[in-house]
Structure 1
Amino acid sequence: MNNIMNMMGKVKELQEKMEKIQEDIVKIEEEGVSGGGLVHVRLNGKNELLGLKIDSSLCKKEEIEILEDLIIAAHKDAKKKIEARMLEKTRGVTDGLSLPPGFKLPL
């Protein structure tokens, strides 16, 4: 019985550490650049597209903001679909487990 209690304590400790790591990862922001600096994207640790800048030499100046918004919307749509598929795939694995309420797998 002592081993089970010890193991449950370690699981709780692991969950707390993973939650802290996930909180830290979300705060990470990085910028990617391509085309010799003509295109810049900014993502956070959840792969959310925070910003997009396209140089005006690549298309008409009045179309840039619309193009940037459309690309951001397409990225959000794809990300939402990926998250739904990930949830669907992991649900089959976790259905038989009696995980504590609120326990999240590190995905």
Structure 2
Amino acid sequence: MGNMNQMMKQVKKMQEQMMKAQEELQNKTVEGTAGGGVVSVTMSGDKKVLDVKIKPEAVDPDDVDMLQDLVLTAVNDALTKADELANQDLGRFTGGMNIPGLF
């Protein structure tokens, strides 16, 4: 019975550490870029877009499609980086397994 209590304490401690790590992700940011940096997207570690910056040279009224593609690429780059950050920060709890809904 002592082993079971010890194991439950370890599980509870790991859960608390994981929750803290998830909360810390909210305070970390990543930046995705496109077009050599003419479009940048800043995103929190929990995948909330915080800022979008577009340099004037990226804006061509005759080529709106290009700007849309740049924004899309920058957002996807930021999402990839946010996933990598979450995997790095929370991977120690999951042993490298991607658990749906965890991050």
TM-score scaled by length of structure 1 = 0.53
Query: Post-superposition shift, 1:60?
Result: 5.8
In 1, are the aligned partners of 2:39 and 2:55 still within 8 Å (CA)? Answer: yes
In 2, are the aligned partners of 1:18 and 1:106 still within 8 Å (CA)? Answer: no
Distance in 1, matches of 2:34 and 2:42, equals: 12
Query: Post-superposition shift, 1:49?
Result: 0.7
Query: Post-superposition shift, 1:9?
Result: 0.5
Secondary structure (helix, strand or coil) at the match of 2:30 reads strand
Query: What is the Cα-based RMSD across aligned positions, in Å?
Result: 2.9
1:2-41 map, 5 Å = 2-41=2-41
Query: Could you tell me which residue of structure 1 aligns to residue 44 of structure 2?
Result: 44
Distance in 2, matches of 1:50 and 1:11, equals: 34
One-letter code of the match for 2:29?
A: E
Query: Percent identity at matched positions?
Result: 35
- Give deviations 1:50-74, integer Å, cap 9, x for gaps: 111122333368xxxxx99xx7xxx
One-letter code of the match for 1:39?
A: V
Distance in 1, matches of 2:54 and 2:33, equals: 10
> Does 1:53 find its partner at 2:53?
yes
Listed as ranges, the gaps of 5+ residues in structure 1 are 62-66, 76-104
Distance in 1, matches of 2:33 and 2:59, equals: 17
Rg (Cα) greater in structure: 1
One-letter code of the match for 1:17?
A: Q
State the structure with bigger RCO (CA 8 A, min sep 6), 1 or 2.
Answer: 2
